[in-house]
A and B are shown apart, each in its own frame.
Chain A
Amino acid sequence: MLTTKINKRYKKWILAFFVLLLAGAAVVWYIFTEKHEDTVMVKADYTVNAPAFIKEFQQNMTAANKKYSEKIIIVNGTVSEIETFDTTANIKMTDTISNAYIIFAFQQQHMGDAKQMQVGDAVSIKGSCSNGSFSNILETEYITFKRCAVNK
């Protein structure tokens, strides 16, 4: 009788241990396999026009970085340059007066869309704004985006 009670108690503890172990494993599995969502599916934090966006960074880089860095943003503007290499398809929107620019690095699955764009196209691009900075090489301001896709 006593042995049966002890066995039942042990069984509960063993069961609880395995439940916790499984929960822990699930959390670890989730953390290690978690990936950035397809940007197309992510809700944008801001929608901006390229010329005004560039101007905002030129006027106050620190404040603009604080506002936009690591946010999902839809940028509407005109393609000024397309830089495609083996594993890269970057689209640029440039302010023709200052040469300041925004550059969009496309997500792997959306590179085909970037490669189909033409200089002069009016486009809408959604992506994660990395940072704005001043380039000592090019002597102008620039803003970089990662994980971009065409905003449809």
Chain B
Amino acid sequence: MAFLLATGLLFAQKKTTTSATINFDATTSIDKLPKAENKTVIASLDTKTGKMAFEAQVKSFAFSNPRIQDHFNNAGWMDSEKFPTSTFTGTISNLKTVSFSKDGVYDVQVKGELTIHGVTKPVETKGTVTVKGSSIKAAADFSIKLADYGINGPAVGAGKVSKEPSISVVAEF
């Protein structure tokens, strides 16, 4: 019974983690401070359907500089009081090229919807899925246009925050 339960858990289709990470880099030539990391992102991956989801608390992004952290959460930027969570839901569109039972690094195409600052937009990006034994690591790097998500604060206009910050996502299941 215990063996069956363990086997079932190991090969469960929906994998989840509460420690996915998102790195956010909005640095510019005149300001190297706006970059942060969120290490407590919730993520899920269904290995049968390729469905993926992420949930990130905006206030969980940790900056080295306390003032930038405050600015990031203020109304001029992410307005975390009003929009506390950013989410992504999507699917690996070339799931057939990934073998979750064979070790390897697989290039994937992910399509879905990204919600930031209360605005939902379709996104499409390339990423990798790394299979090693029973562990699966999903990673993707992409950039967004802040204006698409209604983020037009004075720091963005003044060139202190990149208009197209880069985002790096890693989830290990």
A positions within 8 Å CB-CB of B: 31-32, 34-36, 69-70, 83, 85, 87-88, 90, 92, 101, 103, 105, 130-131, 133, 135-138, 142, 144-147
Say yes or no: A130-B44 contact (C-beta < 8 A), given A83-B17, A101-B18: no
Of A34, A36, A69, A105, which contacts B40 at CB under 8 A?
A105
Of B39, B63, B69, B87, which contacts A88 at CB under 8 A?
B39
Contact residues of B: prevailing secondary structure: strand
- A131 and B21 contact, CB distance less than 8 A: no
Cβ–Cβ < 8 Å partners of B69 in chain A = 36
Cβ–Cβ < 8 Å partners of B16 in chain A = 137-138
- B172 and A133 contact, CB distance less than 8 A: no
Q: What are 14 A-to-B residue pairs whose CB atoms are below 8 Å?
A: A35-B64, A35-B65, A36-B69, A88-B39, A103-B40, A105-B19, A130-B60, A133-B85, A135-B42, A137-B16, A137-B53, A142-B18, A142-B42, A144-B59
CB distance from A133 to the nearest CB of B (A): 6
Q: How many residues of B are in contact with the other chain, CB < 8 A?
A: 30
A113–B2 Cα gap in the complex (Å)?
Answer: 32
Cβ–Cβ < 8 Å partners of A135 in chain B = 42, 55
B positions within 8 Å CB-CB of A: 16-19, 21, 33, 39-40, 42-44, 53, 55, 57-60, 62-67, 69, 80, 84-85, 87, 170, 172
